[in-house]
Amino acid sequence: MYSCGMRFHLAARISTGVVLAALAGGTLAAPGALAESPGVSLGLHASAISVDSGLGRVYVTSDHDNLVTSFDEAAPEGSTRTVTVGAEPIGVAVDSVTHRVFVANAASKTISAFDGTVGSPVVATIPLRSIPTGIAVDPVTHTVLVTSQTTDTVYSFDGTLVNPTLSALAVPAGPSSIAIDPGAGAAFVGNVQSNTVSRIDLASGRVTATVATAYYPDNIAIDTSTHIVFVASRNDGSIHSFDGRDPVPTSKKVVSVRGALSLTVDPIDHLVYVADGYTVRYFDGRADAPLLLDGTADPYPVRYLHLVAADPKGGHVYAIRSEPMTSFDTIWKVVPLPATSPAIMPVGVNIYAVGSWVDLYFSGTGNPLPSLSFGGTLPPGLAWSAGTLSGRVTTVGHSTFTLTASNGVGPGVVRSYDFVVTPPPPSLVTSDELPVARVGTYYRFNPVGVSPLGVTCSVTSGRLPAGIVLASAGCALTGKPTTPGPFSFRLTATNEGGSSSVEYMLTVSPVGTSPCLRSEIAGRQAC
């Protein structure tokens, strides 16, 4: 693919699954990890990326610094060069035959051109009639094409000339990204305001087809082996495709992602890569209903994966990640992960007291990340939505439900879960002093109420007065005390929902006295 659009791009070649790895140091990061990339400083706000597969060199523009940073793919450290270009460079394209680099500068309304083989090149400035939005170069004819949304025009010129003459071609509203298929002799322009793609014949310089496609088609990539054109929308995340050689191309939706910020194709493996802000995802561009595989998510979600680019000859795919805390961007190699069968993370028996709020999240693993479907009966009060079981349980009981994880790789996986709703833990009176008892007089008191069901009690510390016993079921303190004095003890009540403990003091008055019976339970005092 020979293209560049506005600020959001990818660059490529790989095989299956995605990990991001450091460019320097010689060791790729382990799956699931991201490593820093020392030796390649991209400056502020990387806006575009392109790869010279003939020279093995990567070029990245910075719209804040007005720089183009480049490095050697084989030895990133120590091979970095910077070239100052026009104001606010937002696109870059490289002729892989002549190795000339062309940069679209939005603020200065110019194209900068220089020789990529020279360490300190002379930069030529080509005036443009309006603000550029995308740029591409044909390595066969060496024609450079530049889109401009402000005039709905595609400009073209001979990239081998120092002072070229520009030609202008009107296209539908909002021309943005542009890509060239050298084998088909055609360029394809995404028109974001008209939701179309224009096909331009490079030999005649005329529009030969207008294809209705994705809403806001601001990213285009081409498999130059199969001549399939892929069109992505940053707005709705849809990716469409069509055969660029068809006389009347018809676009169809292929997959959808969270937000298609940048797109690239590996014409050797026919894999399409898309940066969605958090990761790089990919799919087989030859499949009618492709499996969208997940890449490795950034462990630092505030960082922003927004540019990708491919080098089919060198066998690399590159991604650029923004570092918002420093405003500097870093570049990574994308290393594929294989597709894996689905699995569900295990969750044990779930036990909740009636009236409790439940918020359980269930997750699956696999590449791509599987979808989860619910089976069985929901406990009363709970609802299932997008992998989360939530609500307030209302009914004591036991239920079983199943979750099925499916991702199109191998059979779905089913896991069963038990869910138990228990009564609330017993509630004990919190008074630290019980009603006074009298030696020889029958005494009865229940700290958990009258005939509580399913509750067992025990004295877990201290002792009861002689003659007083605790009913293990029902928890009543009963009997005729035989010995006067204060007696302290801890009573623990337990049911299916849990346990509660309270420290009590029971005073036993001697025979012949008329004790004042203090009853904090009843909220009154009787003498």
Q: What is the 3-state secondary structure (H, E, C) of 154-199?
A: EEEEECCCCCCCCEEEECCCCEEEEEEECCCCEEEEEECCCCEEEE
Q: What is the CA radius of gyration of the chain?
A: 36
* Average pLDDT estimate for 344-371: 84
Quick check: bond before 447 cis, omega within 30? no
Q: What is the 3-state secondary structure (H, E, C) of 457-512?
A: EEEEEECCCCCEEECCECCCEEECCCCCEEEEEEEEEEECCEEEEEEEEEEEECCC
Asked whether 191 and 171 are in contact (CB, 8 A), the reply is yes
Rounded to 10 degrees, the C-alpha dihedral 147/81/59/103 comes to 10
* Average pLDDT estimate for 505-522: 65
Please say if the pLDDT value at position 522 is more than 60.
no
* Average pLDDT estimate for 98-122: 97
CA distances from 95 to 75, 80, 100, 245, 323 (A): 21, 19, 5, 23, 30
**Predicted pLDDT of residue 300:** 47
* Average pLDDT estimate for 493-506: 87
* Average pLDDT estimate for 190-217: 96
Please say if the pLDDT value at position 297 is more than 60.
no
Please say if the pLDDT value at position 437 is more than 80.
yes
**Predicted pLDDT of residue 424:** 82
* Percent above pLDDT 90 for the chain: 50
Going by pLDDT thresholds of 50, 70 and 90, the confidence category of residue 418 is: confident
Residue with tokens 């490795």: 296
Question: 251 or 361: which carries more pLDDT confidence?
Answer: 251
* Average pLDDT estimate for 306-330: 74
pLDDT-wise least confident of 4-18, 71-85, 297-311, 417-431? 4-18
> Could you say which DSSP state residue 216 is in?
S
Name 292's Cβ contacts closer than 8 Å, sequence gap at least 6.
255, 257, 281, 282, 283, 368
Going by pLDDT thresholds of 50, 70 and 90, the confidence category of residue 330 is: confident
Extract the tokens encoding 10.
Answer: 């990818």
Going by pLDDT thresholds of 50, 70 and 90, the confidence category of residue 8 is: very low
Going by pLDDT thresholds of 50, 70 and 90, the confidence category of residue 474 is: confident
Residue with tokens 């799956």: 31
Question: 476 or 138: which carries more pLDDT confidence?
Answer: 138
Q: Which domains does the chain have, with CATH numbers?
A: 2-338 (2.130.10.10), 342-422 (2.60.40.10), 437-526 (2.60.40.10)
pLDDT-wise least confident of 47-56, 89-98, 136-145, 204-213? 47-56
Count other C-beta atoms under 10 Å from residue 527's C-beta.
8
Question: 260 or 164: which carries more pLDDT confidence?
Answer: 164
Distance CA(267)–CA(490), nearest Å, equals 77
On average, the pLDDT of the chain sits at 84
* Percent above pLDDT 70 for the chain: 83
Please spell the DSSP secondary structure of 264-299, one letter per residue. EEETTTTEEEEE-BS-EEEEETT-SS---B-BPPPS
> Could you say which DSSP state residue 11 is in?
B
Asked whether 91 and 104 are in contact (CB, 8 A), the reply is yes
**Predicted pLDDT of residue 323:** 65
* Average pLDDT estimate for 234-251: 94
Of the spans 118-127, 263-272, 337-346, which averages the highest pLDDT?
118-127
Distance CA(302)–CA(311), nearest Å, equals 28
Please say if the pLDDT value at position 311 is more than 80.
no
Strands 413-422 and 350-353: parallel
Please say if the pLDDT value at position 519 is more than 50.
no
One-letter amino acid of 240: H
**Predicted pLDDT of residue 306:** 74
Going by pLDDT thresholds of 50, 70 and 90, the confidence category of residue 516 is: low
**Predicted pLDDT of residue 32:** 31
Please say if the pLDDT value at position 422 is more than 90.
no
